[in-house]
Amino acid sequence: MRAMSRPWLLALAVGLTAAVTAPASSARDSLPPAVQAALQQAGVPADALAVMALPLARWARPWGHRAEVPMQPGSSMKVLTSIVALDRLGPNHRGYTELRSAAPIEAGVLRGDLVLKGGADPELGVPQLWALLVDLRQLGVTTIEGRLVVDRTLFRPARPDIGLPPFDDAPEFPYNVIPDALQLAGSLLPLELRSGADGVRASTVPPLDGIEFTSRMALTDTPCRDWDDDWQPARVAHEGERTLIELRGGFPKDCTRRTALQLIDRQELTEKLFRTVWRGLGGSWTGQAVAEAATAGTRLLARRDSRPWGELLRHMNKASDNARTRMLYLSLGLAGTAGEPQADTAELAGREVRRWLAENGIPDAGLVLDNGSGLSRSERITPLQMASMLKVAWRGRHAAELLMSLPVAGVDGTLRNRLKDSPATGWARLKTGTLRNVVALAGYVSDDDGRPWAVAMMVNHDNANKARPVLDALVDAIARHGPHGPPRPAVGPLGDGP
């Protein structure tokens, strides 16, 4: 991608001077009236809002409000990961999963270990594992004599989830999964919850050996669609080879839900899923699964490649998938590992992001990187940096893939129920961001003259959960008349004056 030119940087500096350096009162006066009203309604001060709008066409001036202040972006940080990954890895980048072994196959018996090697495949579910094992059966294997060696070592550390404190009080839900290079079933236990006259029952899907459920869940009048409103963290214990899961909280009456939760360790989950699927294919295995790197000299037995990330971005951004984003962010760090065999992959990914920014003339002052998904208490970025990245991406070779992935206002993804009565409906493409004290939007909006704008806007405040109307009002204002407001009537002989 091309670095920004000096004339562009000079114009931006001139256009931003008033908004960025003005006192708080005059900066507030520069905000559209609908935005000021929404701030007051939400109980949020103007200095909790930061905005940057950069024109993508000629004959327009940039507009900003506290645009150089580092802010928590929430999931709008996925825009950063998407832009850099599309440029560095390309839209055809794919993850993979392999079955390997150094052992011979004799009379249908694999005389040694089978390696399940993770290659950052974001789509490795139970059906995909089944297809891999079908390929192994096609090689004539019916019995595996050795261990299942689960190789997660593509990223360093191999298990980045170990030792990290929970992000919040719901660590079992999918948005909190910390991925590794072998993300079988998303590291989530697939299960069915069903309530009846005798209470709540749970079962795994498919049935897995050694997992037993008990329920202390109370039946509630909550709508079935909101089944997780009364959920409380489950209690998990182990007795020998049995895993005992006690369900707690409340669950709606006469309700059945299929879900997947992070209830058991992913290594145990991998072993149980492998054993069940292999047995279902008529295979025999009495060994155990171990987590270690594959030894040298293994040969490839079967492989699957994921769909290209250019396609997967659509789900990642529209559904705001944290685990997939974190996996993609880590993938950015792989290119630099050859010269630093012990380096942390996330650290290398951060260096790659900063290198991309430098190549494109975007200063990284104030930028704080963590996992690239926005599910972080530490990540920071300025609206100016985010909007500048969007401007570079707009002119880049992979603009179409990025645009396709962003939620469309009033139509789909996390924006499907917002901005429905605005001229932005069906046109604006924006990634949302939400944390307890954060709301954000970043993407593209066209004004009433059809001129496109790269925008980034963030609210950081304890009342942020009430401030979505603030951001919607900003987007609506840009869509109606651009960020500078409606043109003022001319005064004098040709206008409405005396």
pLDDT score recorded for residue 27? 44
Residues 157 and 121 in one domain: yes
- The domain total for the chain is 2
pLDDT score for 493: 56
Residues 417, 333 share a domain: yes
CATH number at residue 119: 3.50.80.20
The predicted-structure confidence for 455-494, as pLDDT tens digits, reads as follows 999 999 999 999 999 999 999 999 999 999 887 665 555 5
pLDDT, tens digit (0-9, with 9 covering 90-100), for 128-176: 999 999 999 999 999 999 999 999 999 999 999 999 999 999 999 999 9
Contact yes or no for 423/386 (Cβ under 8 A): no
- My answer on whether 242 and 390 are in the same domain is no
Domain boundary among the residues 251, 273, 305 is at: 305
Block residue for tokens 């899923």? 273
Distance CA(124)–CA(118), nearest Å, equals: 9
pLDDT at 339: 56
> Is 199 a member of any domain?
yes
Mean pLDDT of the chain: 92
Identify the CA nearest to 161 among candidates 183, 140, 130, 193.
183
Q: Could you tell me which residue, 12 or 26, shows the higher pLDDT? A: 12
Which residue is listed with tokens 């991925």?
179
338 vs 246: which has the higher pLDDT: 246
282 and 382 belong to one structural domain: no
241 and 341 together in one domain? no
Q: What is the CATH number of the domain that holds 381?
A: 3.40.710.10
User: What pLDDT score was predicted for residue 59?
Assistant: 83
Tokens of 431: 């990634």
pLDDT tens-digit readout, 84-136: 999 999 999 999 999 999 999 999 999 999 999 999 999 999 999 999 999 99
Percent of the chain with pLDDT over 90: 87
46/121 same-domain check = no
Instruction: Report CA torsion sign: 275, 276, 281, 283.
Output: positive
Task: Look at residue 497 and tell me if it is in a domain.
Answer: no
**Is the model's pLDDT at 2 over the cut of 90?**
no
pLDDT of residue 337: 53
Indicate whether 39 belongs to any domain. Answer: yes
Give the residue numbers spanning the domain of 177. 96-305
Are residues 363 and 343 part of one domain? Answer: yes
| Statement to judge: residues 272 and 139 lie in one domain | yes
- Is residue 285 domain-resident? yes
Of the pLDDT bands very low, low, confident and very high (cuts 50, 70, 90), residue 22 is very low
State whether 288 and 318 are in the same domain: no
Q: Does 360 lie in the same domain as 273? A: no
Tell me the pLDDT band of 7, cut-offs 50, 70 and 90: very low
Residue 498 is assigned to a structural domain of this protein: no
Determine whether 486 is exposed, middle or buried from the number of CB atoms within 10 Å of its CB (0-12, 13-18, 19+).
exposed
The verdict on 76 and 11 lying in the same domain is: yes
